[in-house]
Amino acid sequence: MKFVVTYYVLRVEHITKPYRLAVVADFHNGDERAVFRAVKEENPNLVLLPGDFLHKAGKVERGFALLRLLAAHYPTYCSLGNHESRCGV
């Protein structure tokens, strides 16, 4: 599974220091090691997973492996998407 890294620069008046966020969306049980390496290269202050890091019931190991890897190295927050609901999470 191929993934794309996209960069955005946001300027917020009251935030004066650079702050890096990594958003990992629609992972769907992809290659957790490759995604982790890409996140690590960016050295984020915070990682967000806005849902669909799992794909289907019975095949959740890679999604949870990514979540564990990220959470062990960065403050990590996730929300559940429709695929997590289908997986019973």
**Could you give the number of structural domains in the chain?**
1
Query: Is residue 1 assigned to a domain?
Result: no
CATH code, domain carrying 28:
3.60.21.40
Query: Is residue 38 assigned to a domain?
Result: yes
Phi, psi values for residue 79, rounded to 5°? -125, 160
Q: Print pLDDT tens along the chain (89 aa).
A: 577 888 999 899 998 898 899 998 876 666 778 889 999 999 999 999 887 666 555 566 777 788 889 999 999 998 776 656 666 66
Domain that holds residue 38: 24-86
Inter-CA distances, 6 with 22, 30, 42, 75, Å: 10, 18, 11, 20
pTM: 0.75
Residues 55, 29: Cα–Cα separation, whole Å: 6
Query: Is residue 30 assigned to a domain?
Result: yes
